[in-house]
A and B are shown apart, each in its own frame.
Chain A
Amino acid sequence: EPEVTQTPSHQVTQMGQEVILRCVPISNHLYFYWYRQILGQKVEFLVSFYNNEISEKSEIFDDQFSVERPDGSNFTLKIRSTKLEDSAMYFCASSEGVAGNSPLHFGNGTRLTVT
């Protein structure tokens, strides 16, 4: 069964540095998402992306964050200047459509540690 793959599985960075988290969505999916989970807290929606533009974003997704689909397969999340509170598990997901009958397929996540 096709999977969403995320790299790296763990990323350690220093505060103030830029990081790029990478995702390869399922190939026939058109909608892409980033969610995050701070340790011990709920999984939170960050952003959704369709047709090369952001379709929805949460309050968390401020100017420090950006997403891009640089080619036909990758979907990236960039954090421009990381803060300690950005430490979290970041999950990429994709779906064929947006209705509730087109469920999200999640990747294994990237654990980001900001020191």
Chain B
Amino acid sequence: AQTVTQSQPEMSVQEAETVTLSCTYDTSESNYYLFWYKQPPSRQMILVIRQEAYKQQNATENRFSVNFQKAAKSFSLKISDSQLGDTAMYFCAFMKSNAGNMLTFGGGTRLMVKP
């Protein structure tokens, strides 16, 4: 079974600064996907960024980028130029490549962006 761990229950960052959210996972699979989802107070979970394990290049999506360390089973999210709208719960999630979109989530990190 897979496990996903987010060791930072809460974090805060000043507007315009950079913050990194940590995620580690445990799996024996070699092919898988990793995701970061954002859940603002509206409750809807929104996909922020996705990484395919067989790709060495770190995924980027505008101000969001990941540091994917496959050997260390680490998948951190960096948010650059933080904005007030980034305030949300952030969930790291794992999916085996043939798992039919069954996501295994971490416990979440609550991020507060301060003005």
Chain A positions within 8 Å of B, measured between CB atoms, are 3, 31, 33, 35, 41-45, 48, 55-56, 58, 89, 91, 93, 95, 98-109
Q: From B13-21, B63-71, B72-80, B95-103, give the one contacting chain A.
A: B95-103
**Beyond A100-B50, A108-B42, is A42–B101 a contact (Cβ under 8 Å)?**
no
Q: How far is the CB of A81 from chain B (nearest CB, A)?
A: 26
How many pairs, one residue from A and one from B, have CB atoms within 8 Å of each other in the complex?
Answer: 60
Chain B residues positioned under 8 Å from A43 (CB to CB): 45, 91, 93, 103, 105
A42 touches B105 (CB 8 A): yes
Is A42 in contact with B107, judged by CB distance below 8 angstroms? Answer: yes
Give the docked Cα–Cα distance between A9 and B108 (Å).
22
**What is the bound-complex CA distance between A98 and B52, given in angstroms?**
14
Q: Which residues of B line the A interface, CB within 8 A? A: 32-33, 35, 37, 42-47, 50, 52, 91, 93, 95, 97, 99-108
Is there contact, CB below 8 Å, between B44 and A107? Answer: yes
Do residues B44 and A48 form an inter-chain contact, with CB atoms below 8 A?
no
Residue pair A45, B44 in contact (C-beta under 8 Å): no
Separation of A91 and B97 alpha carbons in the complex (Å): 22
B33 pairs with A109, CB closer than 8 A: no
Other-chain contact of B102, A48, A99, A105, A106 (Cβ < 8 Å): A48
